[in-house]
Amino acid sequence: MEAGIALLLTGSSADLSATVHAVELAQRTNGILHAVYKTDRKGGRKRAGARETQEQFIALATRLGNQAGVGIRTHILERLAGEPLIRFLCAHRIFCLVLGVNDKKEFERKSVWVNLLRKQLQTNKNWYLPALWSVIMTPWDASTLEHAISEVNSRSRTVMAGESSLAESERADIFSTVLQHNKNE
Query: In the chain, how many domains are there?
Result: 1
pLDDT value for 155: 63
Distance between CA atoms of residues 45 and 62, nearest Å: 26
Residues 6+ apart with CB under 8 A from 16: 57, 60, 100, 139, 140, 145, 148, 174, 175, 178
CA–CA separation, 150 and 144 (whole Å):
10
Q: Report the CATH number at residue 169.
A: 3.40.50.620
Identify the domain containing residue 46 by its residue range: 4-184
Q: Are 9 and 37 in contact (CB under 8 A)?
A: yes
Burial class (CB in 10 A: 0-12, 13-18, 19+), 130: exposed
Distance CA 171, CA 43 (A): 26
- pTM recorded for the entire structure: 0.78
pLDDT, tens digit, for every residue of 45-86?
Answer: 556 666 777 788 888 888 888 888 999 999 999 888 999 999
